[in-house]
Structure 1
Amino acid sequence: MRVARFHAPGDLRLEDADEPVPRPGEVKIRVRQCSTCGTDVKIFNHGHHHLVPPRVIGHEIAGEIVEVGSDVPGGWSAGDRVQVIAAVPCGTCPDCVRGRMTVCPNQTSMGYHYDGGFAEYLVVPPAVLRVDGLNRIPDGVGFAEASVAEPLACVVNGQELAGVATDDDVVVVGAGPIGCLHVRLARARGARRVFLVELNRSRLDMSAAVVEPDAAVCGSEVDAIDEVRKLTDGRGADVVITAAASGAAQREALRMAARSGRISFFGGLPKDRPRISLDSNLVHYRELTILGANGSSPAHNKRALELIAAGWVPVHDLITHRLRLTEFHDAIELVASGQAIKVTIEP
C-alpha cells in the first residue's frame, strides 16, 4: 500500500508499505478520506515534539472497516463506515474521570503516536476503542464530510466552553476552515449575529462567500476593533473567538468584547512566541472571561457527526479541494497558501 510518511522537517515521502495486520484489540480500516489541516503543514515544516519519525501522519480520518481483531468490543464488523478520533485520552486519570478528557495529561494522538490516515489502510489501536473513539458514520454522511467531524469536534468543545448561546453577538477572528466551522456552529447554537474578521482579503472573500457571516471585516484595510464596535452600536461582542495563531488577535479580542464578554483563545500560538501582553484592567473592570480550548473528546466527535448528519453544520461546501494521496504535496501547498478552505485526501 502507499503511505505519506514523515521522516524529518521538509522530508515527507510517499512510500510503499506492507498492509497492517490487526492484532488483538485492534480494528483495520480502509481509509476513504483523510482531511488536511494547518497542523499537517506545521509538522511538514517543523516536526512535532510528540511525533517520533518515521511516522505516517494524518488525523482527520474516515473509512471502512475491513477486518476486526480478536477481543474488540462494540460489535464492529467488516463494512462498517467509521470516523476515528484524533486526540486519544487515557480514560482513567483524574481529569478523564471528571469528564475533562480534553486536558488528559496522558493523551496520545493518531498520526503522532500511532500511524495516521494518509495511507490506504491503518489499524485503530486499542487505546481508541477503550474510550469509545471509533464512531459509526450516520447514513447520508459521506466519508469526506465525516473526516471534517474531527475539526468540528474541536470547535464544539471551544463553543461549549465559551457558552455561545441564543442572542449572542459573536466575532470569529480567522477565516480558515476552523473559522468557517465556528461561524456555522455559532449560528446553529442560536447566535444573533456572527461577524468574521480576517487580515487576508482574498481568504476573507473566499470564506465569507461560503459561510455568509453577518459582516466580513478585513483587518488589513480597516480597524477591526472599531468596526466591531460600530456593528454592535458601541457595545462590543458577547463572544470573541480567535481562530488564528496570532498574539495580536488575542490582544485585540479583549477590546472587541462587550462588558461581561467571553474571549476564547482557540488558536494556539507558535511555540517560539507563546507570550502576549494584555491590559488586565480591561479584564478586571469589564468583567471579561478568557478561556482556553484544546482539542476534543470522544463525545465531541459524536456530537460533531450528529450536527453534520442533521444539517445543522453543513461541511460539504467547505471542502474546496479533493485530491489523491499521490498529490499530497500539492495538498500541503494549498493549505499553506490559504487558497483552499478544506482539502481532503482520498488514498
Structure 2
Amino acid sequence: MKAAIYRGPEDLSVETVPSPEVGPHEAKMRVHACATCGTDAKIFHHGHPRLEPPQIIGHEIAGEIIELGEDVQGLAIGDRVQVIAAVPCGECWACRAGRMGICINQTSMGYQYPGGFAEEMIIPHEVLKADGVNHIPDHVSYDEASVTEPLACALNAQSLVNVGPGDNVLVMGAGPIGCLHVRLARAAGADKVFLADINGGRLELSQAVVHADRAVDMSIEDLAQVMADETDGIGPSVIITAAPSGAAQEQALDIVAPGGRVSFFGGLPKDKPMISVDSNVVHYRELIIAGANGSSPAQNREALGLIASGAVPVADLITHRLPLDQVREAIHAVTSGDAIKVVIRPGESA
C-alpha cells in the first residue's frame, strides 16, 4: 500500500510499504478521507516532542472496515466509520473523573500509532477499548466525517466556556477551526457571532462561507472599537482565540465583557509561550480564562451527530480534496491561507 512517511522536519514522502497486519484485538480500515490541520503543518515543519519518526501521520480519519481481529465485537466488514485522534487510557484519575481530554496517559493516532495518511490503517485495541470508533450515517460523506475530530475539539472548548443563548461570541482566527467555532456557536444558540483575523484574504475566504454577523479585518480595522460598537459598549461575552497568537490572547482579555469568558484554544509556539496579563483586570472584572486541549470519544460522537443533523454543516468548508501523492501540497495549502479545510483521499490518483 501507499503511505506518507514522516522522517523528520521537511521530510515527508509517499512510499510503498507492506499492508499492516491486524491483531486479534484490532481492526483494519481502508482510509477514504483524512483531513489535514495546522498540527500536521507544525509536525511537517518542526516535528513534535510526542512523535518519534519514522511514522505515518494524519489524525482526522474516516474510512471503511475491511478486516477484523477475531476478538473484536461491535464492528462488521464494510462499516463506514470515523476514528478518534486522542486516545484516553480510561483508567487514570482524569479519565475516571470524566476528563478524558486531559488523560495523563493519552496516546494519539499519527503519533504513537500509524495514522491516516495511508491507504490502509490499523485501528488499535486502545482506540476500540476507548469506544473511539463511530459509525458514519449513510447520508454523511467520508470527507464530511473526517472533519468530526476538529469539530469535537471546538465542542470541547465551547463547552468549557458554556457558549449558549444570550452570548455575543468573537472568534479570533479565520482558519478552518475558526470557521467551525463560528458555526458551532450558532448551533449553541449564541445571539451574535463575530469573526476576526489579521489576514484579510483568509478572512474574506472564510466569511464568504460562514457569514459571521460581522467580519473584522484586524489589519485595517480597530477590533476593540468594532466590538464596542456591536455590543453597546460592553464587549463580547465570549472570546475564542482560534489562532496561535499571544497577542490575540492578550487582546481578548482587554476587550471581553465584564464577567466574560475567554477560551485559549490556539496553543502558542513552544519558543514564545508567555503572555502579559493584567491580573487586576481578571480580578475586578471577574473574567474566566479556560484552556482547551483535544476532545473525548463522547465529544467525537456528539460532533458527528451535529454534522449528520445539519446543525453544523461542514461540506462547504472543504475547499481542497487531494490524493495522497499530493500530501505536501495539502500541507502547503493549509499554511498558505488559500484553503479552508483540506482533505486527503488516499484511494485516489493524482
So what's the TM-score if we normalise by structure 2? 0.98
**Structure 1 residue 217 displacement after superposition:** 0.3
For residues 58-99 of structure 1, the C-alpha deviation after alignment (integer angstroms, 9 at most, x for no partner) is: 0000000000002113x2111000000000010011110110
**Structure 1 residue 229 displacement after superposition:** 1.1
Matches within 5 A, 1:261-340: 261-340=260-339
Partner of 2:50: 50
Q: Name segments (4+ residues, structure 1) moved above 2 Å.
A: none
Partner of 1:66: 66
- C-alpha distance in 2 between matches for 1:109 and 1:47: 15
**Structure 1 residue 282 displacement after superposition:** 1.1
- C-alpha distance in 1 between matches for 2:327 and 2:168: 39
Partner of 2:12: 12
> Secondary structure in 2 aligned to 1:205?
helix
> Secondary structure in 2 aligned to 1:106?
coil
**Structure 1 residue 278 displacement after superposition:** 1.2
- C-alpha distance in 2 between matches for 1:336 and 1:258: 32
> Secondary structure in 2 aligned to 1:194?
strand
Specify the code of the residue in structure 2 equivalent to 1:4.
A
Partner of 1:29: 29
Percent of aligned pairs with the same residue? 60
Matches within 5 A, 1:86-125: 86-125=85-124
Partner of 2:142: 143
For residues 224-277 of structure 1, the C-alpha deviation after alignment (integer angstroms, 9 at most, x for no partner) is: 112111111110011000000000000000122111000000100011111101
Partner of 1:41: 41
- C-alpha distance in 2 between matches for 1:78 and 1:139: 15
Partner of 2:175: 176
Matches within 5 A, 1:231-250: 231-250=230-249
> Secondary structure in 2 aligned to 1:167?
coil
> Secondary structure in 2 aligned to 1:264?
strand
- C-alpha distance in 1 between matches for 2:268 and 2:129: 31
Partner of 2:203: 204
- C-alpha distance in 1 between matches for 2:67 and 2:212: 44
Specify the code of the residue in structure 2 equivalent to 1:285.
Y
Matches within 5 A, 1:244-259: 244-259=243-258
- C-alpha distance in 2 between matches for 1:312 and 1:255: 32
- C-alpha distance in 1 between matches for 2:75 and 2:213: 44
- C-alpha distance in 1 between matches for 2:53 and 2:202: 33
- C-alpha distance in 1 between matches for 2:49 and 2:43: 10
**Structure 1 residue 139 displacement after superposition:** 2.2
> Secondary structure in 1 aligned to 2:260?
strand
Partner of 2:128: 129
Partner of 1:228: 227
Specify the code of the residue in structure 2 equivalent to 1:344.
V
Moved more, 107-116 or 222-231: 222-231
Specify the code of the residue in structure 2 equivalent to 1:306.
G
- C-alpha distance in 2 between matches for 1:336 and 1:260: 35
Specify the code of the residue in structure 2 equivalent to 1:59.
H
- C-alpha distance in 2 between matches for 1:256 and 1:188: 24
> Secondary structure in 2 aligned to 1:312?
coil
Partner of 1:346: 345
For residues 288-346 of structure 1, the C-alpha deviation after alignment (integer angstroms, 9 at most, x for no partner) is: 00000000000000000000000000000000000000111110111110100000000
Specify the code of the residue in structure 1 equivalent to 2:340.
I
So what's the TM-score if we normalise by structure 1? 0.99
Matches within 5 A, 1:155-194: 155-194=154-193
**Structure 1 residue 24 displacement after superposition:** 1.1
Moved more, 222-231 or 51-60: 222-231
Specify the code of the residue in structure 2 equivalent to 1:301.
N
> Secondary structure in 1 aligned to 2:332?
helix
Partner of 1:154: 153
Specify the code of the residue in structure 1 equivalent to 2:11.
D
- C-alpha distance in 1 between matches for 2:219 and 2:284: 29
- C-alpha distance in 1 between matches for 2:194 and 2:9: 36
- C-alpha distance in 1 between matches for 2:72 and 2:90: 17
- C-alpha distance in 2 between matches for 1:333 and 1:233: 41
> Secondary structure in 2 aligned to 1:258?
coil
Unaligned runs of 5+ in 2: none
Specify the code of the residue in structure 1 equivalent to 2:10.
G
**Structure 1 residue 145 displacement after superposition:** 0.2
- C-alpha distance in 2 between matches for 1:65 and 1:167: 43
| Alignment RMSD (CA, Å) | 0.6
